[in-house]
Each structure stands twice: as C-alpha cells, then as structure tokens.
Amino acid sequence: MPAAPQPQDSAPSRAAMSPALAARPWLVLLSIAGSAALIWFLLDRILVDRSPIVVGILHSQTGPMAVSEQSMIDAEVLALEQINAQGGLLGRSVRWVIADGGSDWPTFARQADRLIRDEKVCVLFGCWTSASRKSVLPVVEAADHLLVYPMAYEGLEHSPNVIYTGAAPNQQITPAVQWCHDTLSARRFFLVGSDYIWPHCVNAIISDQLLALGAERVGQTYVPFGSSDVDEAVRQIVAARPDVVLSTVVGDSAIAFARKLRAAGIRPEQTPVVTFAIAEDELRTAPREDFAGDYAAWCYFQSIERPQNQAFVRSFKARYGSDRTTSDGIATAATSVRLWANAVREAGTVDVRQVRAAMRHQSVDAPEGIVSVDPATHHTWRPVFIGKIRPDGQFDIVRSSRTATRPVPYPISRSHEAWDDLVESLHRGWGGSWGNTSSLPVRRRPLSP
C-alpha cells in the first residue's frame, strides 16, 4: 500500500528559508514586526491630522488702546509657546495668527471675520473694550464660532459663543464701591469714564448701588474715546468736591486724566481715585507720580504672594525682559489659553462646538488661585482684590476676597430685561455704534458696525 500522505506544516520549511533565517528564527519575527510597524506608520501619516492647530489673536497693536492690549498678545503667545514646548495638543503644534484691531471697533469685526473665514482659526482670543467685543460678537455668532474674552467688563451679556474670563461687575465694580463706602467712608462719589458702552453701563450699575447705600452721586461725565482732552472732566471734579472719584477712563486718555488731576491739585490724601482700567502694565510706562496713592480693583495683582504667581511672573519676565510687569489683563489672557487647551485635550478635537462644550466646566490653578468656568453663565469664578498704587508702579493689596467669587453678569438691582433695554437704548442713541462717536475727530471716529 502507498504510504499515507504526511500533514503539511503551515509555516515555511527550513529548506524554503534563506540560510540566515533558517539559522535564526527570531529574524522572521523581526521582519514581520518591521513590516507591521511600517504599515502602521503609513496609516498614521494618512489617517491622522498632523497639521498645526491654528488660533486667532485679536487685540489692538496700534491706536490709543495699544498701551493696554499689546501685553495681552504677549501673554497669549507665551502660553501658546509653553503648550508647544510640552508637545502641543493632540500630537499637533499650535500656530497663531495675530490681527490688529487698531483700537477701532469696526476693524475688530472685519479682522474677526477674516481670521475665521480666511485663516480658518479654531478659536479667537481677543478684544479689550466692550465696544470691540460687541462689534465682534455678531461675527462670532453668525459663524457659530468661539471667542474667549479675557477682560473685566460691565456684564449684561450672555452668549453661547463667548467664554468671559475677565471679571464680571460683582467681581470688580460693586466690591470696590462697597469698600469705598465702608473703608474710605466715602459718601460723595464722582463717576468719570470714556464715552462708550462699558463706562456707561458700569456707571449705571454704580448709580444703583449708591442709591441702595444712601450715598450721593455728585457728578458724572465722559471723555471722548481715545482723546487727551480731559480738562472739562477735571474742572467738574474740582467743582464737585467728591470724597472719591471712580474712573473708567481707558488707554491713553487715562494717563492724560491722571496728569491733569494732579495738576489741578486733586491728591489721593483728600480725594482718592479708584480706577477700573489702570494696572501694573499701564503704570510701567506712565508717570507714576500721577497715580501713586490711588487705588485699583482687579482680580489679580503681580504682588500676590503665591508660588504659582511667582512662577508666572518669572516666566513672563524671562520671555519679555526683566523690566516687564504682569497685570490682570496679562494673567487672564494667559489663563484663557490654558482653559481652552484643557478643553481641547478633553474633547480630543479642535472642533469648535465640542471645545465650546468642554470649556464650560474647565478649571485651572491660575496665578491668583483656582479659576473655574461657570457653566450657567460662561463667566469665570475669580477672587477680588483692591490695591493701592505704590510709587514703584506695583500695588499693596488692601482688600482680598480670599476665595473665588461666583460671577453675576446681571446685577440684581434691575431685571435682565431692564439691563438689556439700557444696552439697546445706548446702542440706538449712538446710531448703531457701541460708543459716542459724535465728539471724536473724524480721522479717529469708528464707522458704524
């Protein structure tokens, strides 16, 4: 009988292998592993997006607000550089496109549209003034995009397309008014601001609070936006003889205002100024003798004694120079980038809608303390500080909330509808603009958005 066929081995016979492979079976395994790795590498290159993540930075690099906004750009760039130094996000580097709002509200809107439409950015970090934010808001909402707004403001707004990382009015304005009443024993208040939406709304909030406190508003006046013509405002303050001046004068105008106040004999020993717009960064280049002894209310000061803040100050100075200072706007701008980066990591994508949803419950250990996004309002929990300006341009902290304060964008002194009506009436009264442009020189007058 013929011999029964022998079962065939499925593996290649030693005779079929090369002598090297036959002698070393581990070379077979190594060859297979190498082929698999090559296939995996090729699939990874094809299927995984390794292109840079593009973000937009939109602040004023020119015009009267550049004195404040340029440093916010520096802070955002530093935070993005640190992210890239740690490997980027989702295996991708981050690239930023910086656009100049030019201290001009319609320009902000046009630049926001360009960044979203042409540069394909996945987030905007930007704006300082509320007029610029109000101008950008319709652009962001129409594109269903995301703006992270890192500046203290008047509140009275809520948008699903904005994360407001700066102070709400109950984290800056109303605590300062209460402190003036209780600690400075102020009963006669004078309100002065630049002539656009933020100061007008802030002064309405303050006026309600003064009425509740039984205090008196002895005067209220506005300086044309970006103007150094502050003589009339100073004259009114001298005539009114207030206990305290509450200032929402911004940018270059604030520096001119402080100089003229001192020249008119207004001294902090008799009539202190509490500013909501001047911080360490503006004082770095301003005549400090015009500000020393006055006060400011913010959610951050460089002088906060906290290891996280000391590390932040060191990193900022190492990047931009030992003569540079940090401030609330700078710290908040950097924190804004970190909150967004955490949301990207959690979402596992840079898709705007998914990142927006993830941002609603982010927290970071910021220089001033834990900063958390409040999911109901899209504002952040922040601590509250009042500082006295020193001759060296730093602040001695004279009041601290110690813990973070829940944001209340709409003060309870009026209904939401009443506050919205106020904002809309100002907008209508200014012909569809977000500031009073009637007194501005033609060359500096923003066009209606």
Domain boundary among 333, 358, 381: 381
CB 95 within 8 A of CB 53: yes
Q: Is residue 23 part of a domain?
A: no
Please check whether residue 18 lies inside any domain of the structure. Answer: no
- pLDDT, tens digit (0-9, with 9 covering 90-100), for 98-121: 999 999 999 999 999 999 999 999
| Any domain includes 278 | yes
Q: Is 278 helix (H, G, I), strand (E, B) or coil?
A: coil
* pLDDT reading at 359 higher than 50: yes
pLDDT digits (tens, 9 = 90+) for 55-92: 999 999 999 999 999 999 999 999 999 999 999 999 99
Contacts of 54 (CB under 8 A, 6+ apart): 94, 95, 96, 97, 119, 120, 121, 122
Tokens of 354: 């998914």
Q: Which amino acid is at 160?
A: P
Domain shared by 161 and 94, yes or no: yes
Q: Are residues 91 and 157 in the same domain?
A: yes
Residue 34 domain-assigned?
Answer: no
Residues 315 and 418 in one domain: no
CA atoms of 80 and 71, how far apart (whole Å): 14
Average pLDDT over residues 399-413: 96
Per-residue pLDDT, 444: 46
The answer to whether position 394 is within a domain reads no
Strand 53-59, strand 162-164: pairing: unpaired
Name the E strands within 152-199: 162-164, 188-194
Mean pLDDT of the chain: 91
Residues 175 and 270 placed together within one structural domain of the fold: yes
Shared-domain flag, residues 186 and 161: no
| pTM (two decimals) | 0.87
Residue 147 in any domain: the answer is: yes
Euclidean distance between CA atoms 189 and 383, whole angstroms: 25
In the chain, the number of structural domains is: 2
Residue 402: predicted pLDDT:
86
State which of 335, 358, 381 marks the end of a domain.
381
The residue ranking higher by pLDDT, 150 or 441, is 150
- Same domain flag for 219 and 346: no
Q: What is the DSSP string of 382-395?
A: B--EEEEEPTTS-E
Q: Does residue 23 surpass a pLDDT of 70?
A: no
Tell me the two tokens of residue 226. Answer: 């970006």
Instruction: Tell me the CATH number at 184.
Output: 3.40.50.2300
The CA distance from 119 to 124, in Å, is: 11
Q: Which domain holds residue 213?
A: 171-303+412-444
Confidence at 437, pLDDT banded by 50, 70, 90: confident
The helix-helix angle for 197-213 and 416-429 (nearest 10°) equals 140
Using the 3D structure, point to which of 341, 358, 381 is the last residue of a domain.
381
pLDDT tens figures, 157-183: 999 999 999 999 999 999 999 999 999
Q: Are residues 286 and 435 in the same domain?
A: yes
Same domain, yes or no, for 335 and 242? Answer: no
Amino acid 4: pLDDT: 47
| One domain for residues 262 and 183 | yes
pLDDT band at 439 (very low <50, low <70, confident <90, very high): low
352 and 254 belong to one structural domain: no
Judge if 236 and 368 occupy the same domain. no
Does pLDDT of 47 surpass 80?
no
Look up residue 297 and give its two tokens: 């209310």
In a domain, 192, yes or no: yes
According to DSSP, residue 160 is labeled T
Which structure tokens are listed for 72? 């916010």
- pLDDT tens for residues 196-224? 999 999 999 999 999 999 999 999 999 99
pLDDT greater at residue 384 or residue 449: 384
| Average pLDDT of span 311-323 | 98
The verdict on 282 and 334 lying in the same domain is: no
Query: What pLDDT, in 10s, does the model give residues 227-253?
Result: 999 999 999 999 999 999 999 999 999
Vertex 248, ends 244 and 250: CA angle to 5°?
135
Is residue 247 included in any domain, yes or no? yes
